[in-house]
Structure 1
């Protein structure tokens, strides 16, 4: 599936009535971009896909909305888990930093099968990714760290409602 700036993913759950906006970011590596508070204004929840860098960054995000974050491969010594499960608007989100789509590690592959999430949030590649496989949306918001190597920088907002999920990538 080609990545568009905004796209609707057809995942629906019976009983959805509220609209929930979720800010999604990953690979901040200790950099809190000053645009994030305005880009995430009005979100109900924030998911961080790992490589946080410094714990104060999560405190900055918590000033915007509640946060769930996972460890990345550079997050030595931080008090977060490798994998988290979050239930939002009757949808299950699984967060895990490293996920190779073509050949996922056996441990995370088993966890995804066991949990059967609606959405898998990951990072590590520093590249935007948005694809539905079966009934699961696999989503990487891209790189949100300091500008370097001419990498495009972005965060995302997932909007969940009764008709599905809309993914909006927001450039930093």
Structure 2
């Protein structure tokens, strides 16, 4: 049996700041779950994402109004893996290794990042919202399967 055939495909986005680029939804179609790592900027973005797949989000530092109801952190268990989301990486409020976390997802910096620290993947999908400085416009895919985690950053080439 191929363990990758049992993979769960997750779209990971962050820092939309009120802009869901039209190129993004078709790319997220077919995901089992979408995770938004904060700075949503407009509740309509979460509604749009929810139309593609179940969506979970955390509150970013610019999320006011109705978005203040979003949690600052969120733990999501998927395919035997614990994913922990926080917008600002320095606000990580637990020891991921001690908590049994497989993946920490964050945003805030708008910089794509994938780094393993003590066996835990720390993933920033980058930003798909308004361009910031000369940073690329990116999001990420996670593939979770028994015994493994794979990721891929996707650049929109904008």
Distance in 2 between residues matched to 1:161 and 1:85, nearest whole Å:
18
Residue segments in structure 1 that go unaligned for 5+ positions in a row: 1-14
Alpha-carbon offset, residue 76 of structure 1:
1.7
| Larger RCO, structures 1/2 (Cα 8 Å, 6+ apart) | 1
Q: Which of 12, 29, 41 does residue 53 from structure 1 map onto?
A: 41
Number of residue-to-residue matches in the alignment: 152
Written as runs of structure 1 = structure 2, the 5 A alignment for 1:35-54 is: 35-54=23-42
Residue segments in structure 2 that go unaligned for 5+ positions in a row: none
RMSD, aligned CA: 1.9
Quick check: which one's helix share is greater?
Answer: 2
Q: Determine the structure 2 residue equivalent to 1:138.
A: 122
Q: Determine the structure 2 residue equivalent to 1:20.
A: 8
Distance in 2 between residues matched to 1:93 and 1:65, nearest whole Å:
17
Residue 66, structure 1, aligned to residue 54, structure 2: yes
Deviations 1:99-145 (A, max 9, x none): 13xxxx5xx34364663311000000110110111121100000111
With the length of structure 1 as denominator, give the TM-score of the two structures. 0.81
Moved over 6 A (4+): none
